[in-house]
Amino acid sequence: MHIFGKIIVVTGAAQGIGRGLCERFAHDGAARVIAADLQAEGAHETALAVGGAGYACDVSKPEAVADLVERVEREHGPIDLFCSNAGVLDVDPDFDNAASASDAAWARSWGVNVMAHVYAARALLPRMIARRQGYFLNTVSAAGLLTQIGSGPYSTTKHAAIGFAEHLAITHRDHGIKVSVLCPQGVQTPMIEGAGELQPALRDGVLTTAQVAQVVVEGLAAERFLILPHAMVGDYIQKKTADYDRWLGGLAKMRRALKAH
């Protein structure tokens, strides 16, 4: 998919990767960029900056996502690309207890990091199937392919997000619908700034949101399922699957070093 002339929705668009995607899509000639975010003011600020439209949307609520899709298609036209980008990171309050995150943290992570992708697909699939075309870009994380030391909810829900995206891509390939997952490591966003001791993702370099957006447009043009701004993640996946026990041992060693630091 090439961006020029497309109607694109980006959730989590008030800041970070979402805003970076909106800026790049507008630069590349999208017909309309729709910025959606839980924070309405932030969504409208991004929309104003890129000449698009802003909407408030709580992506963890199915009715809110369905309403967003309905309003956008009614007011702007058929959605070509839906970027389900919003995400949250809840850390384990006890670094030495993998199950220490609260039920509320697990529920919030599940709602935003997994079910938001499901709700977007649920709202858009009937429309895209009827048109025999459409594209989903789901922002996940390298943590969905590897892991996230210090956060059970983040690591688990990001793995689940990969699983749903695979299911979506397989089920709807013959309907002309494409799917990509964006899986970066460290990016200059408020999420990284608030990550505290979760520093392993920063060891391979921190990218700007503009750098991530560049890799995204290249990945969309090639219609690749895995979009990896940090290319070394592909090597890490191969090492993980080649010797799972060794990989687990290496991450345990990294965790010990992190704790000692």
Q: How far apart are CA 162 and CA 175, in angstroms?
A: 20
pLDDT for position 204: 72
70-90: pLDDT as tens digits: 999 999 999 999 999 999 999
pLDDT for position 195: 54
197-248: pLDDT as tens digits: 456 666 778 899 999 999 999 999 999 999 999 999 999 999 999 999 999 9
Structural domains in the chain plus CATH codes: 7-260 (3.40.50.720)
Of the candidates 55, 135, 154, 236, the residue annotated as catalytic is 154
Is 244 a residue of the active site?
Answer: no
pTM: 0.94
Give the burial string for 35-73 (b: 16+ CB within 10 Å, else e).
bbbbeeebbbbbbeebebbbbbbbbbebebbeebbeebb
The amino acid at residue 14 is A
